[in-house]
Structures are given as C-alpha cells and as structure tokens.
Structure 1
Amino acid sequence: MSQQGDRPATTDDWWGRLYDESARDTGPAGTPDDTIDDRFDSAADTLGGGDDLPSARTYGHAVDAIAVADDEDDVGDDEDEGVGPATRPPAWWESPGGRPVTRTPAPAPESAPAPAPEPSVPTPAPVAPAPLTPRPRAPWEPPPAAFDPTDPATDPAADPTPPPTPPPTPPPAPPPAAPRDPRAADPRPPAPAPPPPPPAPAPAARISHVGDSPPTYEAEPTALPAADAEELDQLVADTVLDGARYGTYTLRAASLRGDSARYRGEPRRDALLTARFGAGPGALVLVAVATGARATEGAHLSAADACRWIGGAVGRSHSRLAEDIRAGRRGDLKSGLHRLTDRTYGKLRARAAELGRDPEEYTASLRCLLLSADPDCRTRVFFGVGGGGLFRLRDGAWQDLEPLVPEPSAIRGAPVVGYGSVPTGAGAATEQTPDGDRLTMDLEITKAPGPLVEEPVPPPPEPFRFRASVARPGDTLLLTSVGLAEPLRGVPALGDELAARWADGEPPGLATYLADVALRAKGYADDRTAVGVWEA
C-alpha cells in the first residue's frame, strides 16, 4: 500500500491524466445527441490517444442495445472518426481476467456483406464483427419502399444509403393486354379487337287482340263452373295444352274456354284428345276435336263422349289405317273412316236415348287428324262431321282446305221408289194397276202405299268430310273448332298476325302457342281449340 503523496506502482497513470488541470472539460455535450458513444469519445479525447481506446460499439451486444433504446436518433457514424470495429484494440474490461489484452487487428474483409433491410421495429444488432445495424429512419425521411425483385432500388444487397430525394411516383400502369398464345410465331402485337356489334333491335310487343277495340269480356277467367259432389269426373279444365314430335313434324294442340263461358262460369264445350297407337315407324297419332251443341245442357259431356268413342274405334284399327296411309290408299281410308264415324254417332244417339233426350241435343261436331310416325310418310289425313276449319300456311299465305259440301237445296234426284213417287214415261202404265196400286216389275205383287207424313221431314244429318294431302317442308297445317275458324275467316287481321308470328317456320313452344291461339277479336267469344302441325 502506498503512502500519501507517493505515486502508484503502475505506469498507467490514467487517473492523474484524467483529473489534470490541463485536460479539457468533459461537461455536457453541445448537441442534443448525448449518447454513450459521445461520452466515451469525450473521455477518450480528454485522456488523449483516442485511437488506442476501444469504441463503445465494441462493448458487446448489451451496450449496443442500450444505445438504441436510449436514443433512436443515434447516428453512430464511427467511420467518419476513423475508428472501426476491426482496427480498435480491446479494452482491459473486455478481458475475462480484468487486465488489458493485446489483440492483433484482423484484416478488413474484401467485401462486407450487405445489411439486412430495415425492420419496422428496432431489433438488437448482431455481435461484432457482424455488420453494423442500419440506423433508424429519421422523421423527415420517406419510408423505405417495399422489396421488388425487378427494382434494383429495393434490393437489400444494394447500397443502403437512401437517395437524397424520393423517386417520383410512377404513372398508373395500363390495363393488362390479352394473353398471347405462346405457340404463335408472329412477334407483332395482336390486331385490335373488332368493335362490338350494334345492339339488336328490341322485339315488337306481342298484342293480345286484333281490331280497332278490345273485346267486351276480360281476357282471364273470372268464374268457375258449378260442381256436383257426386259427379266430379264430369268437370273439365279451363285450358288443355299438349304437344309432341314424330317423324318430320311437330305437333301443338291447345283448347281453352271462351271469354263468354269464362264470364258466366260455364264449362268448356270443346273437347280435345291426343293419342298415339303403336310404336316405331308404324305408330299412328290421332288428334280429335269435338264441340258440343250450343245452348244445351251437358254439351261438354257429348263432346267428350265423341272424342273418346272415335279414339277407341281408331285405336282398334290403327294397324290397318297406318298401312293405308303409308301406301296412299285414299279410297280405302275414306270408306273405312266413314264407317268408324257413323258408329260413333250411333253411340251418341243411343246415349241420348238413355238420358231421355233428343238426339239433336246430345250431339257434337267432330273433326280429326291422322298422322303417321314414319319419317318417310308425309300424308296427312283429315275427316269429320260438323263445322270447324282446316287451314294451311304455305309461303306466308293462308289456304282454306275445308272440303266443299253441297248445300241441301242443291241436291237433285228422284225420290226413292216406294215412298210416294209417281213414275213418268213409257213404263209408267206397267208399274201400277188401273186402280192406282203399284206393282213390282217382276212379281206383280201389290205393295201398300207409303206412310203419310204429317210433319216436315227433319233435315239430313251433316255430311261426312274427308281430305288427304301431302305436306311440304315448311308447311303449317291448322285444324280448328268453330270458335277459331269463324274469326280466321271473318277478321283478316287475325290471320295476318298469326302468319307473321309463324313466318320463320319454327314451331313455337307450348306457352307461346297458347298465347297465339288466345289472340282475341271483338265479337268472337266462343271456345277455341286449335291443332297445329309444323313440317320440318
């Protein structure tokens, strides 16, 4: 132990040099940046030989972390002072034994690794001799740009020194072009896309009636027919819709209640039957349309019976009928269908007798179409009894195909022998006795005179109608009941409108076809039934 006034035994008289009167004042720094490095540099300058003392940045990880936490604006520019972490010798307190340790300066690396990109939150710097931690961003400096592999300015391996001024904001990028086929060999840019086509004109609004004014009745049903709890099977629907496609034709069929019946709550008097008998090319399609007598009770029942009985008769003979249609035997078809129709009306008269009604009350008009399912057969057969219509749309114009029937007043002929006829001519004297009794020509047997008819003879029944025609591609055949046949013949605008709607030759859908059939005309409020056949 030394006495007062004696010098210590060591040669490192740093204590005296620190408190010597010739040393500079180590008071507060003149700048606001008062960090550990600044204080150490001040102490080193006071002792002299600052180049021989280590920097505060070499103390280790803990000292550097404290410096960053104390002041985020610490620049720490040691390179400007000429002191680097690789050339400064370690201090005595860095040695484990507490004594100075002499180190050989390590050579400077050829290329220092690039610092890592600046994190958003300050993190401790790596232990020496790792590269220096980038300084925190000052408030007046712009934020660093996000890393972009195609932009060298954002590469972490580039020079970390920020440019003096931020780069100008690039203009917005144009929209990406259409992808180019990599197999294309033409390096020229693709041709500009053609301008879009002009918008198609809006379709014309579909009218609901023809003529100068709308019909009196409403277009939609308003009242239902009366029902009987014990005879619910006798009810008929307001509208029936059906369709099919066979061979070269498309079938559409619709039957709807008239405006008058909808208003009064009366049942639909028209009946519609669509049936297929057989299969394959030998199949036969029957469409039957019947209309009950006007202003009679149970008219819808007689129409339904007529359709059901003619359908049964055709179904039992469909093989022979289909063969005759494909072979074109019109004579056989006419006679055979005439017999089937007579049997149907015979059943109607028998049914009227069962109900205790007159045959004229329990009857119906009947019109039918026979269509073969064979694609090679284009013969279309129509037959029936009573009123209605048969039309064909060809080349945009309507043709009335209704078979001509002579008027009853135009029928001429001698009365049937034996019913009051008086023969004239040379053989008159030989056919009767002097008393006026008529004799047979061969047996000379006296025959009683004919019965005396007091009441007028009832009019003859409706004649049988038959027609067979060959369809052409693009034709439209239309079979209608009286409720649509009359306005088609009496209002030309109705036919013109339907011809315009069906001019393209394509069969309409079921809903569209129903709307076409329901096209109204003032003064015609009966039930409507229509069967359309579109030829491909």
Structure 2
Amino acid sequence: MKQQGTGRGHEDDWWRRLYGDGGGAGGGAAGDTGASDAPDTLDDRVASALRALAATGRAAPAPGDAPERPERPERPERPERPERPERPERPDPATGKPPGRTAPPPPPAFPTPPAPIPLQATGPGSRPATPRRPVPPPRGAPADPPPSAPPPDGPEPGPLPAADPAALDELVPDTALDGARYGSLTLRAASRRGDLARHRGDIRRDALLTVRFGSGRHALLLVAVATGPPAGAGAARAARDACAWIGGAVGRSCTRLAEDLRTDQRDALRSGLQRLTDRSYGTLRARAEERGLPPERYPAALRCLLLPADPECRTRVFFGVGPGGLLRLRDGAWQDLEPTAPDHLPRRAAPADPGEPPPAAAGRRTDGTRAPGEPFLFRTAFARPGDMLLLCSAGLAEPLRQDPAFAARLAAEWSLPRPPGLTDFLTAAQLRVEGHPKDRTAVAVWES
C-alpha cells in the first residue's frame, strides 16, 4: 500500500507542477513541495489545462464554463454487404453426396466437339462448289487406239507426234503463219495440220516456204507449198525437201528471173522454171534412194508463186507439179486459174485478161525427173487493184471446189476493203468442212 501511495503522490506532484496556479514552467511557487488544496477531479484538470493554454496565447473560455466537445462528422453509410452464399452442405460420408441432391452424370470419355459455324459468302453472289478433278488412269493402262475418223466436236489438237531423240529436226509444228507487204501487194500465208492428223497424232505433211531474194525494186518473192505423199515414211521430209530445193534453185537464179518478169519474157520464164523444177525433183529422187525409200513414192506435190516487189510490175507467175489449187477472187466471185482445171468446177472459169495467155500444161515426162502422169504446170496472171490471188494445197482446194457454201463464206471473209490480219486469215483458212480432214495450206495475195 505504501508503494501505491508513493506512486500516487508523484503523479499528483507532476500535475501540480504542470497545471498548478501561479506556477511557471515549474508548476507552483518556489519552495512549495506540498500537495495542492484544489480538489482533484476531472473537471478541475480540464480547467487547469485550459488555463495553461491561455497562458501560451490561445483563447480560453471563461472560468467555470466547460468547453464544448466538437461534433463528430457523420460517418458515411456503409454499403450493405452482399449476402454470403450458403455453404454447400457437407456430403454424407456414407453415400458421398449431399443430402437431398442427385449426383451429376459422369463426363464422357471424349468431349463432343462444338458444332461448326456455317460459312457464308460475302460477295454479291455465292461461289459454286469447285468440282473435283478426275482421277487419272493408272500408269501402264492400255490406251485406246486412235479412230480412223476425227471427232466432230472441233479441231482441237490431239496427242503430239512421236519423236526420235536422234532426229528431232524431223518434227514439224502444228501450224505455220507468215505475212508481208511489198509495194501494192499484201501477202498472207498459213499452213496447219488437218483434223485427222491432229486426232491421230501424225505429223503435218504440208510444208510452207516464204522467202525474199534481192532488195529494193529488184527483190523477188517466192512462196512454195508442198504436200508429202499420202502414205509411207518420210512424207513430211519430202515436202520440206521439195520447198528447200526449189527455193535454193530460184535463189541462185533470182536476178535472171526478176529481169524476165519485168520485161514480160514469159517463154523464157516457162522454160527456165521447168528446168529448175526438174532438177529439184531429180535431187529428191536421189535423196530417196539414199534413205532407202522407193523413188516413185518420195516426190511431193509442189506449187509456187513468183511475185516481183516492183510496184510497176503486176505480173504474177505460178508454176509447179501435183494437185492443189490456184484461184482468183474478183468482185466477190471465185475464178479458177488452175492450168488443168477439173470439169466439175461449180464456179465460172476465169476469162483471159488482155495480153494474158490461156492456161497451159507442159507435156508429161517419163525420163525420171518427175513422177509419171504429173505434168509441169505454168501460168501467168495480171493483177488488178482489188484482186486476191489464192494458192493452196489440195486440203483447201477440194472443199473450195466441192462445197459452194464454204466457198461463198470464204469469199465473204476475204472480200473486205482491207486485207485481214494474220490471225483473222488463219481463222478463216481453217474453217471446218465435213468430210475434208486433210492438212491445209493457203497463200493469199491482195492487190491494191
């Protein structure tokens, strides 16, 4: 008890020194160590504290007035707490499931994939489904043999001709196209494989050669059309050899031939061209013997046109051997200029121009220079503005002579004021005619 009183006395002494009357920093008067006579109550202590604050310069309330407690600010209302979810009921240890509930079905062994989302086209129209490509036949399957007649559904090329790695120069393209313009004449030339050869994969037997010898007004144009024999090996080679040999012979004599043309030396032209043709055929027969081919089967039909580049010379010379066609389109009608024109030609024969000799054919030769029964053909023609001269192989000459509708259609195509372009000329020259599947070669000269 003594310790508690001692502690209480020290506490009272601290309060008297801090808040006692008349005291300064030490609390009471000097030498006063006794207890204060003031009652030690809570209100007395608050009043002492207020008096101490007044001594430091702060406003203090009047004595005896109790200070008002400051009002506490109202606390904001707390948001209501969400109700706690009810705790799941503990499963029954006996059954392993909550009471009053059924167990969910077990998950499947493999989850079911979600249903695909249907895709929709976003353009103005939906695209049709792409058809599947046909499955190619297995390798080694036997191919169907080519039929003997071409299909009637268009002149589309069939298989490529078989090639020999050691003789690739024997190959011939399906189609050849050429053209030129000199002075008053416009030249168009085309040669294409026939429907039957395309369907069988055979090589084109028609050959075409267009060359120029010399220059300027002395230039001479040569166009040669040759057709190989219908059967036997080497038909295409025979046609190309015929064009090459006659081209070489004319080229070596071009100066003399051009002069004979300008001076209208028709007899000299006939004899000179017949001699060149005989030499060429003799060379072809010798070449056939070197290759082990029958000489009588090797020669090919050969038909040529000589055209001077001089615009003042309008003489056109035709010469050759074998079947084919030479026609002129004048005033929208066909005229046959063939020296040995057949009697069944359905069009009117060509009247002779002033100074133009009638068509003539040389006598048959049996000396081996040409095949027996094949005469040398020669004719000159005078070109008028607006005329069109047509030189062609038998593959085009036969439908022109036998099918009036086809002849009329070609006449309409080629009677326009201006000559056609290369592609338009080829399109017209390859118009299909039923029953005429041979190779076709056409050379047309428009005069202006």
How many Å apart are 1:404 and its aligned residue? 2.4
Structure 2 counterpart of 1:16 = none
Give 1:7-406 correspondences, 5 Å limit. 216=152, 218-404=154-340
Q: Distance in 2 between matches of 1:495 and 1:514?
A: 16
**Structure 1 CA distance for aligned equivalents of residues 225 and 306 of structure 2:** 12
Partner of 2:409: 497
Once residues 336 and 256 of structure 1 are traced to their aligned partners in structure 2, the CA distance between those partners, rounded to angstroms, is 31
In the alignment, the residues of structure 2 paired with residue 271 and residue 301 of structure 1 have an alpha-carbon distance, to the nearest angstrom, of: 9
Q: Give distance in 1, aligned partners of 2:200 and 2:153.
A: 10
- State the distance in 2 between where 1:401 and 1:278 align: 28
- Rounded Cα–Cα distance in structure 2 between residues aligned with 1:222 and 1:290: 23
Distance in structure 2 (CA, Å) of the matches to 1:395 and 1:215: 36
Which letter maps to 2:300? A
Distance in structure 2 (CA, Å) of the matches to 1:255 and 1:217: 21
> Unmatched 5+ residue regions in structure 2?
1-149, 344-360
Deviations 1:99-119 (A, max 9, x none): xxxxxxxxxxxxxxxxxxxxx
* 1:486 equivalent in structure 2: 398
> Retained in 2: the 8 A contact 1:475–1:505?
no
**2 CA distance for matches of 1:217 and 1:308?**
36
Mapped to 2, the partners of 1:265 and 1:406 lie a distance apart of: 33
Change (3 A) 1:516 1:405: closer
Q: 2:27 aligns to what?
A: none
Q: Check conservation: 1:393, 1:477, Cα contact below 8 A.
A: yes
1:38-69 deviation digits (Å, cap 9, x = unpaired): xxxxxxxxxxxxxxxxxxxxxxxxxxxxxxxx
Counterparts of 1:400 and 1:505, CA distance in 2: 22
CA distance in 2, matches of 1:532, 1:459: 28
Q: For the residues of structure 1 that align with 2:189 and 2:241, how far apart are their CA atoms? A: 19
1:512 lines up with 2:430 in the alignment: no
Aligned mates of 1:339, 1:406 — CA distance in 2: 26
Quick one: distance in 2 between partners of 1:323 and 1:403? 24
SS in 2 for 1:498: helix
Deviation at 1:459, TM superposition (A): 8.0
In structure 2, distance between residues paired with 1:309 and 1:218: 36
Q: Is the 8 A contact 1:324 1:333 kept in 2?
A: yes
Q: In the TM superposition, what is the alpha-carbon distance from 1:215 to its structure 2 partner?
A: 6.9
Q: TM-score, normalised by structure 1?
A: 0.50
8 Å CA contact 2:299–2:371 kept in 1: the answer is: no
Aligned equivalents of 1:492 and 1:461: distance in 2?
29
Aligned pair in 2 of structure 1 residues 525, 406: CA closer, same or farther (>3 Å)? closer
Shift of 1:515: 0.1
Verify the 8 A CA contact 1:254 1:530 in the aligned structure 2: yes
Residues in 2 aligned to 1:461 and 1:316: alpha-carbon distance in whole angstroms = 29
Determine the C-alpha separation between the residues in 2 that align with 1:374 and 1:498: 29
Deviation at 1:532, TM superposition (A): 0.3
- Asked whether the 8 Å contact 1:405–1:463 carries over to 2, the reply is no
Identify which of 439, 444, 447 aligns with 1:532.
444
Larger radius of gyration: 2
Give the counterpart of 1:470 among 358, 382, 385: 382
What whole-Å deviation, never above 9, does each CA across 1:256-291 have from its counterpart, x for those lacking one?
A: 000000000000000000000000000000000000
Q: Post-superposition shift, 1:504? A: 2.0
Find the residue that maps to 1:312 and give its secondary structure.
helix
Within 2, Cα distance between the matches of 1:305 and 1:251?
Answer: 23
Tell me the amino acid that sits aligned with residue 391 of structure 1. Answer: L
Deviation at 1:222, TM superposition (A): 1.4
SS of the residue corresponding to residue 222 of structure 1 reads: coil
1:298, distance to aligned residue in structure 2 (A): 1.2
Matched residue type, 2:297: E
SS of 1:520's partner is coil
Q: 1:191-225, CA deviations, whole angstroms, 9 ceiling, x for partnerless residues?
A: xxxxxxxxxxxxxxxxxxxxxxx973631101110
Which whole-Å deviations, capped at 9, do the CAs of 1:413-446 have from their partners, x for residues lacking one?
Answer: 9xx9xxxxxxxxxxxxxxxxxxxxxxxxxxxxxx
Q: Check whether the contact 1:215–1:522 (CA below 8 A) recurs between aligned residues.
A: no
Identity of aligned residues (%): 65
Rounded to whole Å, the distance in 2 between the matches of 1:333 and 1:235 is 35
Distance in 1 separating the partners of 2:233 and 2:287: 14
1:493–1:405 CA distance, 2 compared to 1 (3 A): closer
* Alpha-carbon spacing, 1:298–1:317, altered in 2? closer, same or farther (3 Å): same
* 3-state DSSP of counterpart to 1:377: coil
